[in-house]
Amino acid sequence: MSDIAVAVVGAETPGNVGTIARSMKNFGLSELYLVDPPELDPDGEAYAFAGHARDDVLPNATTVDFDHLVEHFYTVACTATTNQDARNHVRYPFLKPEELVDEIGDIDADVCIVFGRESVGLSNDELARLDRVCSIPASGSYPVLNLAQAATVVLYELRALTVESTQHPPDAHERADERELEGLYATFSEYLHDVGHPGEKIPKTERLFRRLIARAHPTGREARTMRGVLRRGAMRSTGEIPRPSDDGHDGDGDR
């Protein structure tokens, strides 16, 4: 995959430029181009909003003219407003952000995602010179997002192309194996008998519990913890574990 750059055309607010730089760093991008940017004072809001991107993405941003973007990149223009049909194709056809990965993932060219001004976005003349149009689905009554918010949404959707690893573990949820779950079902059955659940209702209750746990997909630790609670509850009901004393302590030292 070729590099993906970001360009901001005519930004009116330094803070938005800083926030976009921060989002770029969040999602693995570093190449920022600015067309007609506001003054970016190192002591001003752009750097204040940039987070750790103040150390690299923002100070390394390159100021260029619009022609540079057209001449050096396959460009994707981001806009809130789209045409209703194909009769006027300045803003049509368009991609949704989640479609970008498939669209640009195999392009043999450097790609630049282009954002426009806070007030008016990209002009029709600018859009006509760019290769592709992307628009974020939003409420028809108010589809215009803040510039930095829009950039964050689009860059997030590109993470499959730009982020090699995240702060998340490889497996966000590791389901308990079947042996652990069968142990939990057996312990629940023992619990039902120990607490005196009506015998004729036990098979149905066991089945309901199995269906509930199957939908929940507990982890191994969750399954083991539940087994411990059930065992303790059954022992308590049969008097094997003393009930807490008046001072809030269990007889076996637990709190």
From first to last of the 255 residues of the chain, give the pLDDT tens digit.
458 999 999 999 999 999 999 999 999 999 999 999 999 999 999 999 999 999 999 999 999 999 999 999 999 999 987 665 556 666 767 899 999 999 998 888 999 999 999 999 999 999 999 999 999 988 888 888 899 999 999 999 999 998 887 776 776 678 999 999 999 999 999 999 999 999 999 999 999 999 999 999 999 999 999 999 999 988 888 777 665 554 444 444 444
**Where does the chain have alpha helices with state H?**
14-26, 45-49, 66-72, 100-104, 124-128, 147-157, 159-162, 178-194, 202-216, 220-237
Global pTM value: 0.74
Predicted pLDDT of residue 254? 45
In angstroms, rounded to a whole number, what is the distance separating the alpha carbons of residues 33 and 58? 10
- Looking up tokens 């993906």, which residue turns up? 4
Three-point CA angle 219, 222, 225, nearest 5°: 150
Residues in the chain: 255
pLDDT at 166: 76
Q: Cα separation of 13 and 16, whole Å?
A: 6
- Give the single-character DSSP code of 176: P
Q: What is the pLDDT of residue 52?
A: 97
Specify the DSSP class assigned to residue 52. Answer: G
- Identify whether the C-beta of residue 69 lies closer than 8 Å to the C-beta of residue 41: no
Q: Per the structure block, which two tokens stand in for 60?
A: 């390394």
**pLDDT of res. 239:** 79
CA atoms within 13 A on the CB side of 229: 7
> Which of 252, 9, 15, 23 is closest to 157 using CA atoms?
23
Tokens for 224, please give them.
Answer: 């083991």
User: Helices 147-157 and 14-26: crossing angle, nearest 10°?
Assistant: 10
Rounded Cα distance, 69 and 65, in Å: 7
Chain-centroid distance, C-alpha 216:
22
Q: What is the pLDDT of residue 81?
A: 74
Q: What is the DSSP letter of 121?
A: B
Residues 6+ apart with CB under 8 A from 45: 13, 14, 15, 18
Euclidean distance between CA atoms 35 and 50, whole angstroms: 18
Q: Characterize the bridge pairing of strands 74-78 and 32-35.
A: unpaired
The tokens for 197 are: 């659940």
